[in-house]
Amino acid sequence: MTVELGFGVLVLTLIVTLYGVVAAIIGVSRKDQRWIDSARYASLLIFPLLTLVVIAILYLIVTGHYEVAYVYSVSSNATPLYLKLTALWGGQAGSLIFWSWLMSAFTSAVMLRKWNRDREFLPWVIVVTLVTLVFFLVMSIFFENPFNRFWATPMGDRIEAMFPPAGSDLLLPADGRGLNPLLRHPGMIIHPPMLYLGFVSFVIPFAFAIAALITGRTDDRWIRITRRWTLVAWLFLTIGLVLGMRWAYDVLGWGGYWGWDPVEIAALMPWLTGTALLHSVMIQEKRGMFKQWNMLLVILTYDLVIYGTFLTRSGVLSSVHAFAQSAIGPLFFAFISLTLIVSIWLLLLRWKSLRSEGQLQSLLSRETLFLVNNLLFLGLFIECFWGVNFPLLSELVTGQKVTFGPAWYIRATGPLWGGLLLLMGIAPLSAWQISTYKTLGKAFWKPFIFSLLAVAAALALKVREAGALIGFWLVALAFAVTLYEYWRGIRARHNSTGENWLKSIWHLTGKNRRRYGGYIIHLGVILMAIGVIGIEAFQTQTQGALTPGQSLELGDYSVKYQSLAEWDTRDGKNITRAVMEVSKNGRVLQEVYPRRDYYYDSQQPMTIPGLRSTMVDDIYVILVDWEPISSRQATFKVFHNPLVNWLWVGTIVLILGSIIAVWPSTEREPAK
C-alpha cells in the first residue's frame, strides 16, 4: 500500500508542477493575476506533496521492504537506523527524489516572500523553477522510479517494475544488499545534502536572472533580491566540497584530501563560476558595470549544476563517487543543452540594454582587479572542464579514454590559484574608479614587508622549494593585507566613537556584514591555502611489508608494527585492525589503528587509515594488505602530511565569515 501511495503522490506532484508552469504562462499572456496566484499556490503545494513521497521511501527503507528494488540496493537488516535514514540519498533513484524535495523547499521559500515590488518577476520565477522540477520528476517517474519492485516472470527472470507484468509474482527477499560502505562515513551523511543544497540554491538566482531578461529589467534589482540566495548557495556548496574532501581523507586511502576525481571536479566547477559571480555582482551594484558578464555567469553556474548532476548519474565517467550507468544520461544532456540555448538566446536579445553604465578608468582600480579575479576563476573553470571532458572526447575520436592525472591539474591550476591569492593581497587596498601606483604603494608597503619577513622565517626553517616559498609569500601577503584593512576600520571607529576595541570590532562588523564577513572568508581561504601548500609541497610517503616489531622510517618519524587482529561485529562486518606505534626522534608519541572493514551485506571493503594528527602535521597509516593471521605479516603505506589541518581550521573560519556576510541587516535597504 505504501508503494502505491508513494508513487501516486509522486505522479500527482508532477501534475501539480506542470499545472503551475501552464498557469503562470496563461497569467502572463492574459495579464490575469488570478492565474499567476494560482500558479504560486501550486508551487507552495509541491513541497508537502514531495514530503509525503520522501516519508513513504523512508518508511519502506526503515521497515525493510526489500521487494522494493531501491530499498534492496541501499539497506539491509544489519544497517543501523541512522544509515537507513541517510540511505534516502544513497542511490540513484533516491538521490533524484531528494534533489527534487530540496528544490521544492527552496521554491516554496521564494514564493513566500513579499512580491509587491517585483510582481513582473513572479510568473517567470515560477516557470523557471518549476520547469527544473518537472525535469527531475520526469526522471524519477519514468526512468529511476524509487518504488519499482522485484517481480518473477513465468520464465524465471527477475525484473524491476512498478506494476506486475502479466503472470508474474512479487519477490520478497529476506535481506537487502546494504549501503555502499564508502557511504557509511559520517561525512557522507552530511556531504550529499550540503552539495544538493548548494546546487538547488543556485537555481533561485538563475530564475530571477531569466525573469529579468524576459521582462527587460536591466537594473540590478534581480541581484539585490538574490544576493543572499547566491551566498547561501555558495556556502552550502563550499561545505559540501570540504566534507567530501574530509571523507576522501578518512576513507578512500588516497593519503590526501583531493584526488582530482571527475565527480569532485564536477562539483568544483559551479563553485568556481559561483565564486566569480559573488565578486562581480558587487561591481554591478556599486558601479553599474559587468551586467552582461553577471548574466553569463549565473547562466553558466546553473547549467554546471545540472551538468555536474548529469556526470554523477549518467555513468559516463569512472569515479568512486559516481552512480552506475543509466539511461538518464542523454536526457540530462538534452535538458542542459535546451536551457543553455534558451538562456543565451534571451541574453543576446537584451545584450545592448545590459551595457555597463561606467567604464574601467584605471588598471589598478578595484573594478579592474575584480575583472582579473573573474578571468582567473574562469580560467580555472576552463581547465577543469577540459580535464573532465577530455576522456569523453578522446574516446569519441580515438576509441580510447585518455585521462589527466593529479600532476596535470596541479601544474595547470597552480599558477591561477597563486594569482587569486595575489589579488587578495592587492584588491582590498585599491580604490574605486581610479587607483594609482603611488596611492596603492602607500597602503601596500607595510603588508609587503610583513610578507617578506614570513618568507625569511620559512627560509630559516629550511624551506628551499621555490613553489612553496612563493606560496607562503602570497599567503602572508594576503593575510597581512586582510588584517591591515580590518585594523584600519576598527581603529577609525574606535577613534571616532571612543568605544573600546572589542565593541568597535563588534559594531564595525555588524554595520557592514557583507564587507567584513568577506574579509573573514578571505582569512579562512588563506588558512586553507596553508594546508594545501603544506601537503602538496612537502608530503612524503613510504611503503613496506612488516612483521610485528619491524618499523617503517619516514623523516624524523618511525612507525612500528605491533600487532594485527581480526573479528566480526554485530552490525555485519569483519574488521582487520593493526596496532602501530608512532615515534619521533626516538620518543613514542601514540598508537594508531589502521584497519580494513569488510561488509558482508554489500560484499565490499572500506579502508580506514590510522591517524596521528596535530596542527603541525599528520602521520597517516594505511593497512594495504596482510597475510593469514597466523603469520601476522602485513603491508603498510605511511604518509607524512605537513600542515594539512590548517585546511580544516580555515574551513571553520570561512563558514563563520559566510554566516556573518549572509546574516540579515537591521538597516532597511533604500528604495530605488
SS (HEC) of 522-544: HHHHHHHHHHHHHHHHHCEEEEE
Contact criterion met (CB below 8 Å) for 100 and 133: yes
Contact criterion met (CB below 8 Å) for 594 and 622: yes
Query: Beta strands 587-592 and 169-170: pairing type?
Result: unpaired
d(CA 459, CA 453): 10
List beta partners, residue 552. Answer: 559
Contact criterion met (CB below 8 Å) for 551 and 559: yes
Instruction: Count CB-CB contacts under 10 A for residue 517.
Output: 20
The per-residue b/e assignment along 318-341, b for 16 or more CB within 10 angstroms, e otherwise, is ebebbbeebebeebbeebbeebbe
Cell numbers placing 662:
549572509
> Greater confidence, 377 or 486?
377
Backbone angles phi, psi at 474, to 5 degrees: -65, -40
Stretch among 37-46, 137-146, 187-196 having the lowest mean pLDDT? 187-196
Nearest to 378 by CA among 281, 289, 275: 275
| Model confidence at 25: pLDDT above 60 | yes
Nearest to 25 by CA among 130, 110, 112: 130
Residue 395 is predicted with a pLDDT of 79
pTM above 0.75?
yes
d(CA 105, CA 477): 42
Rounded to the nearest angstrom, the gap between the alpha carbon of residue 418 and the centroid of all alpha carbons in its chain is 21
d(CA 75, CA 303): 33
- Sheet containing strand 617-626, edge to edge, reads 540-546, 634-642, 617-626, 610-613
- Sheet containing strand 169-170, edge to edge, reads 158-161, 149-152, 169-170
pLDDT in tens, 388-415: 888 878 877 887 878 888 889 999 999 9
Cell numbers placing 465:
622549494
Instruction: Count CB-CB contacts under 10 A for residue 117.
Output: 11
Domain residue ranges in the chain: 1-179, 180-435, 540-647
Contact criterion met (CB below 8 Å) for 654 and 238: yes
Tell the residue number behind the cell numbers 619491524, with chain if given.
550
| Model confidence at 113: pLDDT above 50 | yes
Please tell me whether residue 239 adopts helix, strand or coil conformation: helix
Give mean pLDDT, residues 261-268: 86
Nearest to 427 by CA among 356, 468, 484: 484
Report the percentage of the chain scoring pLDDT > 90. Answer: 56
Cell numbers placing 534:
603544506
d(CA 198, CA 271): 9
| Model confidence at 458: pLDDT above 80 | yes
d(CA 93, CA 69): 10
Rg for the chain, CA atoms, rounded? 27
Tell the residue number behind the cell numbers 544488499, with chain if given.
177
Average pLDDT of the chain is 89
Please tell me whether residue 373 adopts helix, strand or coil conformation: helix
> Greater confidence, 235 or 259?
235
Question: Would you put residue 41 in left (φ > 0), alpha (ψ -120 to 50) or beta?
Answer: alpha
* Residue 445, CB-side half-sphere exposure with 13 Å CA sphere: 5
CA separation (Å) from 299 to 208, 341, 369? 11, 10, 23
Tell the residue number behind the cell numbers 568544483, with chain if given.
268
453 CB contacts (<8 Å, ≥6 apart)? 476
Stretch among 130-144, 368-382, 504-518 having the lowest mean pLDDT? 504-518
> Greater confidence, 542 or 183?
542
Residue 443 is predicted with a pLDDT of 82
| Model confidence at 611: pLDDT above 90 | yes
Instruction: Count CB-CB contacts under 10 A for residue 513.
Output: 18
Residue 669 is predicted with a pLDDT of 44
| Model confidence at 385: pLDDT above 60 | yes
Residue 587 is predicted with a pLDDT of 93
Cell numbers placing 18:
506542470
Give the torsion through C-alpha atoms of 240, 245, 247, 249, to 10 deg.
Answer: -170
- pLDDT band at residue 588 under the 50/70/90 scheme: very high
Residue 666 is predicted with a pLDDT of 54
d(CA 517, CA 569): 47
d(CA 380, CA 410): 11
Q: 534 burial class (0-12, 13-18, 19+ CB within 10 angstroms)?
A: buried
Residue 668 is predicted with a pLDDT of 47
289 CB contacts (<8 Å, ≥6 apart)? 283, 356, 357, 358, 359, 360, 367
pLDDT in tens, 314-334: 555 554 444 445 567 788 888
Contact criterion met (CB below 8 Å) for 522 and 424: yes
| Model confidence at 436: pLDDT above 80 | no
Percentages helix, strand, coil for the chain (3-state, rounded to 5) are 60, 15, 25
Stretch among 27-36, 141-150, 499-508 having the lowest mean pLDDT? 499-508
